Chains A and B, each alone.
Chain A
Amino acid sequence: MNLKKKAYELRKDVVDMIYRAKTGHIGGDLSVMEILVDLYYKQMNVTPENFNSDDHDHFVMSKGHSVEALYAVLADRGFFPKEDLKTFATFGSKYIGHPTNKVNGIEMNTGSLGHGLGVGVGMALAGKMDEKNYRVYVVMGDGEMAEGSVWEAVTAGAHYKLDNLTAFVDRNHLQISGTTEQVMNQKSQEARWAAFGWNVISVPGNDLDAIDNAVELAKKVKDKPTVIIAHTIKGCGISFVENQVGWHHHVPNDEEYQAALKELDERGAQYE
């Protein structure tokens, strides 16, 4: 399947999980989807077969609330049966509302923001120590940039010249209480990261080709980690969800659910 269409099919899985469970963070799931599709279908060397080896690429979902998107991708990549998605957030399920390494394919537990980049720094350092060729990818949210611990990790990543580390900022401009600029100004992400010594690439973040090009460019950079500022649309793919702050973790009702699936089908169909 064309990967651009795949991103819309996976969005349907996300909507389905959230509709069933009556919980989830739909807006950020939809904004981050092309990043995950590029990493898991094109870029990262990580499969159910090599996941327990020493040599695969590593991924940390630092914006852990977008776990539904990650579960949808991992299931589709064969890390666990797709049927398991139906147990999301049900009583006793291991498929809880933030990433947990009880789920095959997930290495680190996240949920509290501001941890993932430091984990990525540690993973990338281990790769350098052992002279491994694996790469490390971390996905963060733009609201998360208010966490001070992120900037401790940004400092360390540049200090240790971790060119095997690529971070993403899902720059969708919204967080739970409003725009990032209303809540805590996150303008000029590119300048902030550059000032800390990172290689910075800015892309339209729901454009799969643009993301893929950026990840390729990051691999060629030496002695610096790369951040890809992915300018995304929160709720991307469903017109009435897009750019709506209320849809940070709103659950679709029956009508909205049907309308969402229909629109995602239509938008995906253009890539057939």
Chain B
Amino acid sequence: MNKIANKTIINNVLIEEAAKDKNIVVLCSDSRGSAGLGPYSKEHPKQFVEVGIAEQNLVTIAAGLAACGKKSFVFSPASFLSTRSMEQAKVDVAYSHTNVKLIGISGGVSYGELGMTHQSANDIAIMASTPGLRVYLPCDRFQTEKLIRALLQDKDPAYVRIGRNAVEDVYEEGNVPFELNKAVTIQDGSDVTIIACGEMVQGAKAAGELLKDKGISARVIDMYCIKPIDKEAIIKAAKETKLILTVEEHVKLGGLGSMVAQVAAENAPVKVVSLGLPDEPAIAGKSAQIFKYYGMDAEGIVKKISELL
């Protein structure tokens, strides 16, 4: 199975589109290496702005460019983008309604060995709770490409969080169901629903298969659109299955699990259980080790569902 980091796909799409549209501008904060923007910056030096290690200025400059007609794509580690430059995202992007797409790279525990400074375990809560900011966590290269192409078509602010590592494909080339702000049902099922986002979808999909072998019919939903969240998909799952399990690379407070639970509680109360990171600095390690430790991988999902059913 192909393994490509989602940042590579964004870089490729922007190289292609910037050649056709001079208003596309990419900005980074000494993060061109970690964002995989080397090729873009070489291909389109006049549509590339290096801001240095200054995340506040990074977002504000992007907003100023957008106010003058540019389509700004901002790349910085999600940990810094969602905290150091949070007020800039709130005021200069969301509140001023500028055409800025904030791309949080190396999100979640991608930098798993580097400590809490480099973890973005609460960026969903921060960004999604800000009026005017959309939040997306795509899972694989195909969905990431579709998402970025869709975002190039609109003028509204958005925050996109991706991981650092190469990830397995969830979808197949040429068969990528995608409608902006609509969740994707990867596998239908009637006993339980697993709702995952970002690079947790890979594990959720695998768990769906494993549960089949155990005779459990699991619906697997890819909720890449955290905000606006696909309420319809949640309500349907809440009505049609006995349990919803959410999985996210984020603390359990204020993220996907909280949002799914809120929608379910208001519309079709059903038990909602969340898997995610703890309310403490995540344990050090590689992403896969961390997911396994906190029971967020396929095995952990299967175990949790088996306990609950």
Contact = CB atoms under 8 A, between A and B. Distances in A.
Interface in A80-103: 101
A232 interface: no
A108 B92 contact: yes
Residue of B57, B64, B70 with most chain A CB atoms under a 10 A cut-off: B64
Interface string A148-186: 110011011001000000000000000000000000000
Given A58-B68, A122-B64, A156 B57 contact: yes
B57 A149 contact: yes
A112 B67 CA distance: 18
Contacts of B87: 112, 115
Contacts of A24: none
Contacts of A123: 64-65, 67-68
A54 B63 CA distance: 16
Contacts of B62: 122
Nearest to A64: B91
B46 interface: yes
Given A112-B87, A156-B51, A122 B96 contact: no
A26 B66 CA distance: 32
Residue of B22, B68, B70, B98 with most chain A CB atoms under a 10 A cut-off: B68
B25 A129 contact: yes
Q: How many of chain A's residues touch chain B, expressed as a range?
A: 20 to 34
Interface in B68-103: 68-70, 87-88, 91-92, 95-98
Given A111-B91, A129-B46, A155-B52, A118 B67 contact: no
B57 A119 contact: no
A155 B57 CA distance: 10
B176 interface: no
Given A112-B87, A112-B91, A119-B92, A107 B67 contact: yes
A109 interface: yes
A115 B92 contact: yes
B60 A153 contact: yes
A119 B64 contact: yes
Interface in B36-76: 46-47, 49, 51-52, 54, 56-57, 60-70
B54 A122 contact: no
B69 A108 contact: no
Given A109-B96, A112-B87, A115-B88, A126 B57 contact: no
B52 A109 contact: no
A101 B61 contact: no
A50 to B, nearest CB: 14
Contacts of B69: 54, 126, 130
B49 A125 contact: yes
A44 to B, nearest CB: 15
Given A123-B68, A126-B65, A118 B97 contact: no
B61 A121 contact: yes
Contact of B65 (A60, A125, A155): A125
B64 A120 contact: yes
A111 B92 CA distance: 11
B68 A122 contact: yes
A156 B61 contact: yes
B61 A118 contact: yes
Given A101-B97, A108-B96, A118 B60 contact: yes
Interface string A115-138: 100111111111101100000000
A110 interface: yes
Contact of A122 (B22, B52, B56, B66): B66
A159 B91 CA distance: 25
Contact of B63 (A108, A127, A129): A108
Nearest to A54: B69
Contacts of B60: 115, 118-119, 121-122, 149, 153
Nearest to B54: A152
Contacts of B88: 115, 118, 149
Interface in A21-63: 54, 58, 60
8 contacts: A108-B98, A115-B91, A122-B62, A125-B61, A127-B68, A129-B46, A130-B69, A148-B56
Given A109-B95, A153-B57, 8 more contacts: A108-B92, A115-B91, A118-B92, A122-B65, A123-B67, A124-B64, A125-B61, A149-B88
Interface of B: 22, 25, 46-47, 49, 51-52, 54, 56-57, 60-70, 87-88, 91-92, 95-98
